[in-house]
Every structure is written in structure tokens, then in C-alpha cells.
Structure 1
Amino acid sequence: MSKSIDNGGERGGRQDADEMRHGTLAEARDGARDTATAGRIPHGRAAEAGRRRPDTAAVPELLQLAGGLRAGAARDISQRTGVAEADVYGVGSFFHLLARPDVDVRVCTGLSCQLRGADALLAAAKERGWSVEGCSCLAACDRPTPILIGREMHYDFDAATLAAHVGPHTTLPLTAAELAAPSAAVPAAIERAACGVIAMAEDSVFELDREPSFAAAAFERAASIGSASLFDEIERSGLQGRGGAG
């Protein structure tokens, strides 16, 4: 009997050893597989589950809480929401309600205005001691460079004519009476039309909120002249950017 017990013990010992060996080999294989796939990019549903979706809806509120585009705000919001820093800047600089409240003058630094000396105009305004900042676009590419003073738009500015337009005044806010022609001051909410500035509200189409809208008139004209003529007209105008250039 003792011999059979010894044989059973030997078999049990060998079985335990085999299980340990197989377990160790399995762990080694799993570890090697994990190491081999660690640097691979996940695909399909696994990639979608692991990817954080940008929270674009939170950007305006976070900008408002930050007091506008202060130093480092765009970077911080980008890291919190996953939205590209350039897109955060675009939101904060385009919409005046999200801009810094302590800025008196905003100078358009869009593409068309850059080509017409917006940087020099911005520097000249700062030299006057104004609280000024650049913004991405004021939708007036046909009359560069526009500036926004409070809620009023003023057109056709550059560094050379700034002093002539404004005269000796160095304090803000300015009024329309303090600005000489050809600059025109109009409320920012009704200043633009796709085919040029329309002086009389009666010439436009009104939206339900009673704010004039020129979209219908512009669409009718575009449809009447045809796509080829429309492209030719845009090319001849020399417009670039979002302010009427399409």
C-alpha cells in the first residue's frame, strides 16, 4: 500500500509541476502579446471607445468664465474640452459677446485686412494708449480695415489715416461725430450686406425679430446672374475671407 501511495504522490507532484509550468508559459505568451500590441493604434469600436470626443458646446461658456481670450485661456480650454486651440481662439475672437470686456477697440486682422496693413493699424492704436486687440474677422472684407468701437463699426482705416480720422482725440469711447469721412459708423447688427452696404432698412428683407436681413436679396441676385457670372464677379471684386467673398 505504501508503494501505491508513493506513486500517487509522485503523480500528483508531477501534475502540479506541469500545471505551474503551463501556467508560467501562458503568462509569458500573454505578456509577449501585450508587448507586441502596445504600440499599435486601435481600430473600429475599440478606437471609438478610447477616443475622447471634443466638447465644442462647452467652449463659449468656458471662454466667458475665463473673461475672454486672456493669456493661456485658449490652451487651457483646449486641454479641458479636446477642441483644437486654434478653434477655441476662433470662437473667442469672432463673437464680440465673448471678447474681453476691458477692450475698447477691436481691429480686424482677417486675411483681407492683413493685406491692407491691419498689423500696422493695430500697433498705431496701441501707441495711442487705447485698450485694443485684434479679432479674426469683422465681416467687412470689402472695406478694409474695419474697427469695432463698442457696438459701432467704422471702416476704411489704416495706420496712415488713423490720425486724420480721429484727430487729437485719445480717449474712448469715440462718437461718429469725432470721425471724419470716408469712415461711416453704423450699428454692428445691421452694417453688412452681401452685395454692399445698404443704407436704408426699407431696401432689405426683415427677419422675424425685426432685424434687417439681406440674404434673400443676395440669393436672388446670385440666382439671376448664374454661377459662372457669380464666380467672375467675386474674382473681379478682389474680396477674400468671410465678409462677402463666399
Structure 2
Amino acid sequence: MNVLADSWSWLTTAAHWSGENGVWNRLGEHLFLTLVSLVISCAIALPVALVLGHLGRGGALAVNLSNAGRAVPTFAVLVLLLLSPIGSYGDWPTIVALVLFAVPPLLTNAYVGVRGVDADVVRAARGMGMTGAQTLARVELPLAMPLILTGVRIAAVQLVATATVAALAGGGGLGRIITAGFNLASTPQVVAGACLVAVLALLVEGAFEGVQRLANTGGRGSGS
């Protein structure tokens, strides 16, 4: 019980929120790592998944290969990247490791979403004279959007949690608060840092759920 009280005291101390090592600065670093990694992951995974889902070829292999990447610990990938030539390029080793971690849920959900579109609907679109690209953009993509957004939400929440590993390699983010707590043998600071990461993950989860609800409502409204 004292640990919780001490952790609350740490969080409510104004000095811990300001400066280079303060919560606000570390939060900004954490959001930067998460956002950049998510954008790059989406740019890589979604086009591949949409095209493979539309063609119905090679998707299973791509999904299985991407899921196999989950078996490799993100920290192990980060260490290898730090030892490679890319290791001297600031946050890029962390971003690359996070991108590799975020691709599987994005690729899987987008591929399954497109493949799950009713075949009769696709045939009807083609019967109306739509090209393959038009069918994908106007029919398959809108119908697959709920699953695609679910994949983005899962990836975003996982990135928020996993970005803490950046601190183990000397990077920024909220993980630095946790590692600093370990170095100082300060359990309240460790708990406070973990709580900050958990709250941020919940906020991101809630934000994406709100976006999904708005998208679903908009889709139903436009179709009525």
C-alpha cells in the first residue's frame, strides 16, 4: 500500500513533470516513436495486404511470414540493429524494430478484411464494369475498413507498450522513467512509469475505438 501512495506522490510532484527527464518530455518522445512507427508500418503493410487480398494470391504466405516475426523478441532485434551500421542513426534502430513488430496485425487484419468481402458483391461490381482497382477502392476497401481499423488499433496499442524497450538501448520515451527508477532502486518511480505507459495505452485504445465507431456510423449513414 505504501508503494502505491509513494507512486502517487511521485506522479503529483511538479518537479517530475518538467525538464529534459520530466514526464512531459518523455511523453513527447514516446508519442513520436509510436506515431512514426505506426505510419511507416501502415505504409508498408496495408498496400501489400490490400493488393494480395484483392488478388487472392500469396496472402497466406505473407501473413504467415509476418506472424513468424512475432516470435522474435523486439529487444533482440533492437540490439542487433544497434550493432549494425544503422545503430548510429538516432532513434531509427528503435523505429525499425517497432515497425517489424507492428506489421503483423496490420497485414493480417487488412488481408482478412478484403478476403472476407462477399464474393457476390465483388462480382456485381465487376458486372457493372468496374476495373480491379475501382472494385478494390470503392467496394472491397470500404467493406474491409472495420477490420483494417481494428488492426491499426491493435498495432498502435502494442507500439505504445513496446516502445518502452527504447529506454533499454538508451533511447527516449516513458521507458526512461522506468529504467531510471531501477537505477535509483526507486520502486515508486518504476510503478509510476509503468502506470503512465498503461494509461497512455488505454487512451490510445479509447481514441481508436472512437474513430472506429465514427467510421462505422458514417458508413451506415452513407449507405442508408
TM-score w.r.t. length of structure 1:
0.23
Greater strand content: 1
Please tell me whether Structure 1 or Structure 2 has the larger radius of gyration of its CA atoms.
1
Greater helix content: 2
TM-score w.r.t. length of structure 2:
0.24
